[in-house]
Amino acid sequence: MLPIPASATKKPVLAARPPKTQGRAGLPKLRLIVRRLPPGLTEEEFQTALGGEWKVGAGKVDWAAYKVGKISKE
């Protein structure tokens, strides 16, 4: 065996990157998907059923999308 210096086994140091920010104030981003809604349910009726705390900008939700349900062909 041949002796080698400790500096030869160290990994090269890369430039430090700033940490990625997640959402507002470093909180993790979450996604909630609600499936199997009735095809006749409107977005307004859905929001009413959820309540005011789940409206966009009211604290719990920053973004929302609503897709109309489909009638099953099975």
* Over residues 2-15, mean pLDDT: 66
Q: What is the CA radius of gyration of the chain?
A: 25
Report whether pLDDT(63) > 90.
no
pLDDT digits (tens, 9 = 90+) for 19-59: 555 555 666 667 778 888 888 999 999 999 989 888 888 87
Report whether pLDDT(17) > 90.
no
For residue 9, give the amino acid letter: T
Q: What is the pLDDT of residue 48?
A: 92
Contact predicate 57/64, CB 8 Å = no
Output 74 or 65, whichever has higher pLDDT.
65
For residue 40, give the amino acid letter: G
Question: Taking the complete model, does pTM exceed 0.75, yes or no?
Answer: no
